[in-house]
Structures are given as C-alpha cells and as structure tokens.
Amino acid sequence: MAYDYTPYLDEVERELRDLLAVREEAVAPLYQMMQYHLGWLDARFRPVEAPRGKRLRPLLCLLACEAVGGDWRQAVPAASAIELLHNFSLLHDDIEDRSETRRHRPTVWSLWGVPQGINTGDAMWAVSRLAMLRLAERGYDAETILRAIRRLDEACVELCTGQYLDLAFEQAEMISLEEYERMIAGKTAALLSASVAIGAILGGATDAVVEAYAGFGHELGLAFQIVDDILGIWGDPTVTGKSTASDILERKKALPALYALHWERKRGRNDLAALYAKPSLSVEDIPQVLLLLERAGAEEYARSQARNHHQRSLQYLQATQIHHPAQDALRDLSYSLVERVF
Amino acid sequence: MAYDYTPYLDEVERELRDLLAVREEAVAPLYQMMQYHLGWLDARFRPVEAPRGKRLRPLLCLLACEAVGGDWRQAVPAASAIELLHNFSLLHDDIEDRSETRRHRPTVWSLWGVPQGINTGDAMWAVSRLAMLRLAERGYDAETILRAIRRLDEACVELCTGQYLDLAFEQAEMISLEEYERMIAGKTAALLSASVAIGAILGGATDAVVEAYAGFGHELGLAFQIVDDILGIWGDPTVTGKSTASDILERKKALPALYALHWERKRGRNDLAALYAKPSLSVEDIPQVLLLLERAGAEEYARSQARNHHQRSLQYLQATQIHHPAQDALRDLSYSLVERVF
C-alpha cells in the first residue's frame, strides 16, 4: 500500500498559509504575490486551486524526522521554511532565466515586473527565516534550532554558488562533466541534502545518522537534477509545464547536451557544437539536435548517471541502519523522483 | 575630541574580508563581485581602494554593545552580518531602480548583468546569515544568538515590505504622508533599529533597554531617510554620488515632492502634479520643479520633519539612562547623519 503523504502535506500547507497570511492591509499585495506563486490565488488575487509543486523538500524533511524516531509534527516549521526557501529561489531563477511560465501559469515577474519579482523573492526568503524561528514554539531548545539553521544557511550559500555557475556556464563554450556536477551539487543537491539532514536533526538523530541522511539527500539531488535535464529535452510538455525541448532552444548546459558535446570533441566532430555556436536556435533546429544527441547516446548516458546517483543515495539510506515505515517512504519517494525516466 | 571609530571599522573590515574570502576557485567570481561591490576590487578584480560606504549600521551595533557594558569585539560578527545584509539590499535596489552608478562606480548588475546581479545579492544575504552564526565562536550562548537572529530576520521582512511600498508608490499618483512614513519605516528605519537593538542584546542589556535602543534606531532611521530625500534634490552630486536632482527626474515619492503635492492639492493647484503627470521629465524641467518645491516650502518642511525624528531619537537614547563614552559617540553619530541638512 502506498504511503499516505496527505497528513504531512496538509500540516505544511496550514503552516505556510499562516506564515503568509495578510496581517497588514498596506502591504497585502506583497503577501498576495507570494500566495499567487504558491498556487493559492490567481493573478487578480482571487482564491484558486492551481498547481503547487510537489512539496518534495518538506516531505523529505518530515519523513527523516519521523524515521529517526522524532515527532514529525514538531518539525513542520522547518519543513515550511525549506519550502519557502526553495520557492524564493524559483522566483529569482525565473527572472534570471527570463522564464515567463512556471507550473503552467505566468511567473510573478512577468505579471508584476522584475523589480517586484526580485523583492517578492526576497520577502519569501525573509519569511522563510521567521518560519525557522517558529521551531522555538514547538519546544526545541536553542542549540538544536541553531544546528538546523546552520544547515539551512550553508545550503543557501551553496544554492547561490550553483546558480552563479549555471549563469556563468551559459556564456561558456564548453564545461567539463566535473564542472556540471559541481553546479548541480549547489543548485539542486544542497537544499535536498539539507532538507533530510534538518529532519534528522529535529528528530534527534546522532551526528553520524544526520550525515548519512545528508549523503542520501545529496545523491538524490544529483539524480533528481539529471532526471530534470532529461525531461527538459524529452519530457512531455503537458507534464513538465515547459514548452517542448525548451532547454535545447536555450542551449542549456544540461547533461545530455554536454555529454554529446564531449562525445563529438573526442571524435573530432563538431556538428552539435556548430549548432550551439549559432547566435540563436529555432524550432526547426530541434530535430537535428535530437538526432545528434541520439548519435552520441546522450539520453542513455544521462539515464545511467541518474541511476548511479540514485543507487548511491540508497546506499546512504541503508547506512543509517534505520527500519521504520517512514524510512520505506523515503526510499519510495526517491524512486518516484527518478522512475520518470527509467 | 571626536570619538575614534577606526578600531571598530578595522575589525568589521577584517571580519568582512574573511567572510568573503575566495575559498574555491570555481566560484571565485561570485565572491569577487561581492568584493567589487564592497569597494575592495575594481571591475577586473584587481585590488583597489574605492568608496566603501559609511559602515553606519555596524558602528551603531558595536557602540550600543559597548554602551551597555558589553565587549564590542565579541559583537563584530553581528555587525558584519548587518553590513552584508544592508549591502545585499543595495545590490537588489540598484537593479530594481535601474541605477547604473553607486558610490561613483558602475553597479554590479550594470557590469555583469541582471541575473548575476540578483544572484550576487542573494549570495551576500546568504553569507550574512553565516556571519551571524559566527557569534557562537565568540562565546555567546544559543539563546542570545537566536534573540539577535530573530531581530535581524524581522527587520528583513520589514525591509521587503518597505521596498514593496517604494516600488508600488512609483505607480501611484499620490500617497499620503502616513504611507510615506510607513514606507521609510520599512525601507530604512527597520534595519537601523535592529542594528542598535542587536548591539544592546549582545552587550547584555535588559529588554527595556534593548527596546529603548530600538526606538532610537527607528527614529534615527526615519530622520536619516528624510535627510537622504532632501539631499536627493538639493545635495551636492560630488558628495551624494548621484547625478543632480536625479530623484526629481525619476519623480520619486520623496518627502519634499510629496509634501509639495499635498500643499498644492489643499490650495486647488496642480502645477507640480501636472509636471509629475508627464510621461517623462527632462533636465529642462528641473528649475521649474525646484521653484514649485520652494513655493510650497517643501525643503523647510522636510528639514523640520527630520529634526523632529532626530529629537525623538535622542529622547529614546536618554531613556536608556546610560552614561558611557560609547553612548556619547552614538549621539554624536546621530548628529553627523542629520547635520548635513541643518
């Protein structure tokens, strides 16, 4: 029987709504823009049921807390803080990538402009900080709260370094596969790792167990990002919420393209490199790009990389030596993230 | 004899440089862009001595710590965190206001683009968080650190609400003087208030004394912003680092203009309102705007408002009933901020 995530998701949703409730009329639209981004309001600030994202990071946090023997309900403020932090980064990413659509809806900056978009992201991060401090009301001692905060703050720095590399790589003709992994370690794996580690900390785990969970989250994050790269090229737009092969048109340094570029270089070819060197790519170029990716075996390579990282994440999970239904749920959750491409 | 701020400034500078040191070659430029913003590097990342800002907030923090009997050296990580937080907000403000110059130099976004500009701001905030956590190495207990963190995090939310209002008011035809004060309370006063309050907390002050210092910082912040508004119109460009009357050209809802608009409305006039309703203002319009501001007595009004808030800040300072050279320095510092227009 599939694990029922509803109680966790409901509690997080309740906490998030309380954190982002309008408490002062003068600044209501700031909070309403955040609520819009989270899928609770439409663009005219009327209640709506829009896609909300998977709430993956809060689930990882709460399940880890429970798996190590903690009461997951006490950790809800941290899970909510993590979700807000993740969404702050999405708000800014959308501006940085000029993405006009997220989860099938116009992005905040495309509706209210870049200045308000930047500031709405900043505000969401600020509220995320206050969410962490609510752990004090759940009975955690100051030492434990600071440990959790430190983990999250270190992940924030990593997030920014990953984003820096992602933006810098757009200008680079070629990057190595190591550079790619460094980039996604910051952009994606750091926060997933922190989510599980914070759950374990708040559940009262030993340092060794916390580190094993952090390793699980890190490897899972790498696998997850590679899966995302694969779906960005071959995914179904009605599922991903992005236009077909948008990552190709933007010539992102996603793993499949990167691998194909390296594959060509080794063989003295430069068909894909020549296409990627054009001032811009059009929809007509996509079939050719797909053919070149296929010739290099890029999809297969990326899949195998995702599978390797997922396998390593499961080894970390096993190293915790914990047996608990929530632990099984963590493993199931990890499969659900990667099986989309297996 | 004037108080010597050098030891404070030197310690903060040392801490900031340590916090922003390049520790990983792959992401060096991210840290170098932050160092550029702080005036340590030029645009090609060569060491330089550029204007660095007044470091006002760290000074307020450290002096408050000392005035209440604490060892200011222990509070240096918090003072540094506050300065980084302030500079994060400048990095984002510059993008939101499309300002190409700050402290007589090109802004980060104008050199490296909006995406890297946003992310560099985010990174500076993230490093600011880690700076706060360094208080643990200075011997503070977790409870005290959390109290300081809470104060700073609440100021962050206020900062974002103030910035939201500032941006929203750009579109508004008219705002009330109360709305103006709410805006600058968030945009400027919140962080100044937190700076002094955090210093007092880290110096071991009682709650009542902490609140009195918070009130001092709040009122000083209001006075400081009004002074800034005055200088934005009548200030010397070689001192302010902005072009002459740039706030007029941008039709900012600064206090003098706002007061003049209200003054006109009460008298059934709309000369300034008509000018401000034009699609854009040019340098040729400036003399006319200055005449209309003078007719309304806008400069005098703004000066008196700044003076009132400064007086109230001094009353808060007196309410602490503290006598200490650092307390005198706080008072002197407050005068130095407002006397530029007295």
Locate the chain A residue with the closest alpha carbon to B121.
A160
Report CA torsion sign: A132, A133, A134, A139: positive
pLDDT in tens, A127-186: 999 999 999 999 999 999 999 999 999 999 999 999 999 999 988 888 999 999 999 999
What's the Cα-to-Cα distance from B331 to each of A261, B3, B72, B262, B335, rounded to whole Å?
A: 64, 11, 17, 33, 6
Q: At what angle do helices A255-266 and A177-184 cross, to 10 degrees?
A: 170
Nearest to A26 among B142, B159, B182 (CB): B182
Domain B6-341: which CATH number of 3.40.30.10, 1.10.600.10, 1.25.40.10, 3.20.20.140 = 1.10.600.10
- The pair of three-digit structure tokens given for residue B269, joined into one six-digit string: 């006039």
Report CA torsion sign: A258, B109, A123, A243: negative
Percent of chain B with pLDDT over 90: 86
Q: Verify whether the Cβ–Cβ distance B160 to A30 is below 8 Å.
A: yes
* A171 Cα to chain B: minimum distance (Å): 12
Q: Verify whether the Cβ–Cβ distance A164 to B133 is below 8 Å.
A: no
pLDDT in tens, B269-279: 999 999 988 88
- Rounded Cα distance between A92 and A88, Å, is 6
Nearest to A38 by CA among A123, A138, A163: A123
- Residue pair A192/A218 in contact (Cβ under 8 Å)? The answer is yes
- The pair of three-digit structure tokens given for residue B133, joined into one six-digit string: 């956590």
Residue A116 sits at the chain B interface (C-beta within 8 Å): yes
Locate the chain B residue with the closest alpha carbon to A140.
B143
- Rounded Cα distance between A248 and A281, Å, is 8
Interface predicted TM-score of the whole assembly (ipTM), two decimals? 0.95
- Rounded Cα distance between A120 and B245, Å, is 29
Locate the chain B residue with the closest alpha carbon to A168.
B116
A52 pLDDT more than 90? no
pLDDT band at A57; cut points 50, 70, 90: very high
Locate the chain B residue with the closest alpha carbon to A124.
B157
- Rounded Cα distance between A30 and B67, Å, is 38
* Residues B98-105: contacts with CB under 8 Å, at least 24 apart: B101/B241, B101/B242, B101/B243, B102/B241, B103/B39, B103/B50, B103/B51, B103/B52, B103/B53, B103/B241, B104/B50, B104/B51, B104/B241, B105/B39, B105/B50, B105/B51
Per-residue confidence (pLDDT) for residue A244, from 0 to 100: 62
Q: Verify whether the Cβ–Cβ distance B156 to A129 is below 8 Å.
A: yes
Per-residue confidence (pLDDT) for residue B70, from 0 to 100: 98
Nearest to A150 among B122, B133, B153 (CB): B133
Helix (H, G, I), strand (E, B) or coil at A173: coil
Question: Looking at A69-73, A131-135, A194-198, A245-249, which range is the least confident one?
Answer: A245-249
Phi, psi (rounded to 5 degrees) for A191:
-75, -35
Q: Hunting for tokens 């070819």 — which residue is that?
A: A269
- The pair of three-digit structure tokens given for residue B238, joined into one six-digit string: 């070689």
Q: Verify whether the Cβ–Cβ distance A126 to B160 is below 8 Å.
A: yes
Nearest to A64 by CA among A82, A46, A44: A82
- Rounded Cα distance between B6 and B76, Å, is 13
pLDDT in tens, B288-331: 999 999 999 999 999 999 999 999 999 999 999 999 999 999 99
- Residue pair B162/B188 in contact (Cβ under 8 Å)? The answer is yes
Chain A residues with beta carbon closer than 8 angstroms to that of B138? none
Tally Cβ neighbours within 10 Å of residue B237. Answer: 13
Q: At what angle do helices A298-319 and A255-266 cross, to 10 degrees?
A: 120
Residue B141 sits at the chain A interface (C-beta within 8 Å): yes
Residue A28 sits at the chain B interface (C-beta within 8 Å): no
Chain A residues with beta carbon closer than 8 angstroms to that of B97? 115
Residue of higher predicted confidence among A239 and A250: A250
Nearest to B142 among A97, A129, A142 (CB): A142
Nearest to A27 among B119, B153, B161 (CB): B161
- Residue pair B297/B267 in contact (Cβ under 8 Å)? The answer is no
Instruction: Give the amino acid at A340.
Output: R
Q: Hunting for tokens 């270190």 — which residue is that?
A: A154
Q: B interface mutation test: which of A118, A130, A135, A151 has the most B CBs within 10 A?
A: A118
- Count of CB contacts below 8 A, A vs B? 134
Q: At what angle do helices B28-37 and A142-171 cross, to 10 degrees?
A: 100
* B175 Cα to chain A: minimum distance (Å): 12
Residue A187 sits at the chain B interface (C-beta within 8 Å): no
Q: Taking all residues of chain A, what is their mean pLDDT, rounded to a whole number?
A: 94
CA within 13 Å, CB half, B7: 9
Nearest to A92 among B122, B129, B167 (CB): B122
Residue A146 sits at the chain B interface (C-beta within 8 Å): yes
Chain A residues with beta carbon closer than 8 angstroms to that of B126? 153, 156-157, 159-160
Q: Verify whether the Cβ–Cβ distance B153 to A126 is below 8 Å.
A: yes
Average pLDDT of span A14-36? 98
Residue B142 sits at the chain A interface (C-beta within 8 Å): yes
Q: Give the dihedral of Cα atoms A64, A227, A52, A202; nearest 10 deg.
A: 10
* B294 Cα to chain A: minimum distance (Å): 31
Residue B222 sits at the chain A interface (C-beta within 8 Å): no
Locate the chain A residue with the closest alpha carbon to B24.
A161
Q: Which residues pair with B101 in a beta bridge?
A: B106
Q: Verify whether the Cβ–Cβ distance B116 to A160 is below 8 Å.
A: no
Q: A interface mutation test: which of B153, B165, B191, B250 has the most A CBs within 10 A?
A: B153
pLDDT band at B286; cut points 50, 70, 90: very high
- Rounded Cα distance between A337 and B9, Å, is 50
Q: Give the dihedral of Cα atoms A194, A200, A204, A206; nearest 10 deg.
A: -90
Helix (H, G, I), strand (E, B) or coil at A297: coil
Output the 3-class SS for chain B.
Answer: CCCCCHHHHHHHHHHHHHHCCCCCHHHHHHHHHHHHHCCCECCCCCECCCCCCCCHHHHHHHHHHHHCCCCHHHHHHHHHHHHHHHHHHHHHHHHHCCCCEECCEECHHHHHHHHHHHHHHHHHHHHHHHHHHHHHHHCCCHHHHHHHHHHHHHHHHHHHHHHHHHHHHHHCCCCCHHHHHHHHHHHHHHHHHHHHHHHHHHCCCCHHHHHHHHHHHHHHHHHHHHHHHHHHHHCCHHHHCCCCCHHHHCCCCCHHHHHHHHHHHHCCCCHHHHHHHCCCCCHHHHHHHHHHHHHHCHHHHHHHHHHHHHHHHHHHHHHCCCCCHHHHHHHHHHHHHHHHHC
Residue A138 sits at the chain B interface (C-beta within 8 Å): no
Question: Looking at A67-76, A238-247, B219-228, which range is the least confident one?
Answer: A238-247
Q: Verify whether the Cβ–Cβ distance A157 to B123 is below 8 Å.
A: yes
* pTM confidence score: 0.96
Q: Verify whether the Cβ–Cβ distance A119 to B164 is below 8 Å.
A: yes
- Residue pair B158/B186 in contact (Cβ under 8 Å)? The answer is yes
CA A195 to chain centre: 11
Residue A12 sits at the chain B interface (C-beta within 8 Å): no
What's the Cα-to-Cα distance from B79 to each of A254, B55, B92, rounded to whole Å?
A: 41, 9, 20
pLDDT in tens, B141-168: 999 999 999 999 999 999 999 999 999 9
Residue B143 sits at the chain A interface (C-beta within 8 Å): yes
Domain boundaries, chain B: 6-341
- The pair of three-digit structure tokens given for residue A288, joined into one six-digit string: 């050719």
> Does an H or E element contain A62, and which?
helix A56-67
Per-residue confidence (pLDDT) for residue A241, from 0 to 100: 60
Residues in chain A: 342
pLDDT in tens, B215-271: 999 999 999 999 999 998 998 777 666 666 777 888 888 999 999 999 999 999 999
Q: Verify whether the Cβ–Cβ distance B146 to A161 is below 8 Å.
A: no
Residue of higher predicted confidence among A319 and B248: A319
Chain A residues with beta carbon closer than 8 angstroms to that of B29? 164, 168
- Rounded Cα distance between A17 and B269, Å, is 46
Tally Cβ neighbours within 10 Å of residue B81. Answer: 30
Q: Taking all residues of chain B, what is their mean pLDDT, rounded to a whole number?
A: 94
Q: Verify whether the Cβ–Cβ distance A118 to B145 is below 8 Å.
A: no
Q: B interface mutation test: which of A116, A164, A167 has the most B CBs within 10 A?
A: A164
Residue A29 sits at the chain B interface (C-beta within 8 Å): yes
Q: Verify whether the Cβ–Cβ distance A163 to B122 is below 8 Å.
A: yes
